[in-house]
Amino acid sequence: MISIENIQLVQTSQVLYQCHYFHIYAKNDKKAVVRPKESSRMNKSKTLLAVVIAIMLGGCGQMGSSPEEEPEKTPAEMDPADLPQIDAFQNEYSREMMVSTEPVADGYYLMRSKIGAFTIWFPEEAVFMENASGVDGDHYEKLRISYENKNENRGYTGNFQYQYGGNAKKPERILDNLRWRWDYEEEWNEIQEDESTIFYGAKEMAQNEYVVMGYKVSTKQAPQVIEFVYDVSCVNKQAKGCDIHLEKEKEFALEWVKSIQFSGTRSDGGETDGE
């Protein structure tokens, strides 16, 4: 069966052949001898031929060329007025970390960590806490993302700490530390992903206040790990309508953690794939 690609190739070859033929003909035609009786008719023919040749050679000159496309601007290079009117893009610090103005999922935009070690979904309603985020060289980074809605009477904070080396080589230390900090006594739950594993636990700290904590460790680009703590509660615990559901919040927190993808870089800037 003849494919469209083959037909296009044949058509292109025919045009190239015609271009080559008319180019040679135009050169050789200068040497042609015209008899007096045929001069009038030949002059008209040559005029018509010259027009055809000009059109053909003009088309040949454009073949293979295409207008240069300007590289797409990153959010950091764009005018803030042209960006989505949410904190992630309007905050100068976090704007440099946003990958695209197109949502990666409903209600989320893709953010790349400052040191380029991982990507994470950024909730469109949330606020980037610049004063509680930062980096240490190219092996440690901390992100804090918060949300508060008085009408909804709900607020949460997501804390994420990335490490390469150190505790990343023995992530169980992170669980021990979390157990001690939050007085967590239950067993840890485990979620297996293609290139990582998530260990987590959830605890009720007070009425309508919960914490989902744990870590996500790379099983391919080792040793890389991200510790996470998701804290959610009512904004006004004394107000009526304060009702936080643990299962719903746990699902939200875990979907957020699952969105994290390690990039495969390590502290010296090399690749960790296959190590």
What six digits make up the tokens of 126? 């949330």
116: alpha, beta or left, given left = phi > 0 and alpha = psi -120 to 50? left
**Parallel/antiparallel/unpaired status of strands 127-128 and 140-149:** antiparallel
pLDDT score at 69: 64
How many whole angstroms from its chain centre is CA 183?
37
Single-letter code of the amino acid located at 102: E
Q: At what angle do helices 4-28 and 39-62 cross, to 10 degrees?
A: 130
Residue of 224, 196, 228 lying closest to 117 (CA atoms): 224
- The per-residue pLDDT for 3 is 44
Look at residue 30 in the predicted model and tell me its pLDDT.
42
Cα–Cα distance between 110 and 40 in angstroms, integer? 72
- Each residue's pLDDT expressed in tens, for the chain with a length of 275 residues: 444 444 343 344 443 344 343 343 434 444 444 444 444 554 555 555 554 444 454 544 444 445 566 677 888 888 888 898 888 898 888 898 999 999 999 999 999 999 999 999 999 999 999 888 999 888 999 999 999 999 899 999 999 999 998 778 888 899 999 999 999 999 999 999 999 999 999 999 998 999 999 999 998 876 899 999 999 999 998 887 788 999 999 999 999 999 999 986 544 444 444 33
Tell me if the pTM is above 0.75: no
DSSP secondary structure string for all residues of 24-80: HHHHHGGG----GGGHHHHHHHHHHHHHHHHHHHHHHHHTT--PPPPPPPPGGGS-G
Q: Is the dihedral of CA 71, 75, 80, 81 positive or negative?
A: positive
Q: Report the pLDDT value the prediction gives residue 234, as an integer from 0 to 100.
A: 94
Q: For residue 209, what pLDDT is reported?
A: 95
The verdict on whether omega for the bond into residue 223 sits within 30 degrees of 0, i.e. cis, is yes
Could you tell me the CA-to-CA distances from 165 to 159, 168, 200 in Å, in that order?
20, 5, 21
Of 147, 133, 125, which Cα lies nearest the Cα of 94?
133
